[in-house]
Amino acid sequence: MNLHTFLWTTFFAFLPISELRGAIPFALSQGIPWYIALLFSVGINALVAPVCWLFLSTFHRLFYHWNWYRGLFDSFVERARGKVHEKVEKWGWLGIAAFVAIPLPVTGAWTGTLGAWILGLDKKKTLLAVIIGVVCAGLIVTAVSMLGLSAFAIFVKKM
């Protein structure tokens, strides 16, 4: 375990595309024990919600005057709204937690926070929902990664 590995794990955990789906498998592949990979990645990914909310409530207003930013942001918002709206309509803020907990592409902390902000949900409930979702997603990704590594090790032994 070296600093380089933790820096890359941090990068993957905070990056909107990879989040936990990239951070945990990367950390495990670098020899970090599963419980450290899980706790570290979940901790970093949980920081997405307050950072995203801070950005949306401050810098977004400044940047929205730029045409290139407005176009990019508006297209991302429409995709986020479409993905999150149904779950929020059905379950309220717990819908955000369920949405974030599903470790599929575009269902992480970034999109969940953005969707909650777009739909005007309460900030504290959103932050709690995203943290709950991140913990659940972290457990799922860790379990799947560990099962995959175990299956691969069995396969390699038979060769």
Main-chain phi, psi angles of 113, to 5 degrees: -65, -45
Vertex 157: Cα angle to 154 and 159 (nearest 5): 115
Structural tokens at position 41: 């990645």
Report yes or no on whether pTM surpasses 0.85.
no
Angle at 98 between CA 93 and CA 103, to 5 degrees: 140
pLDDT attached to residue 153: 56
Whether the Cβ atoms of residue 61 and residue 96 lie closer than 8 Å to each other: no
Model confidence pLDDT, tens digit, residues 47-87: 999 999 998 888 888 888 889 988 888 887 777 777 777 77
Question: pLDDT-based confidence at 145, cuts 50/70/90?
Answer: very high
Q: Tell me: the pLDDT tens digits for 98-144? A: 999 999 888 899 989 988 888 888 999 999 999 999 999 999 999 99
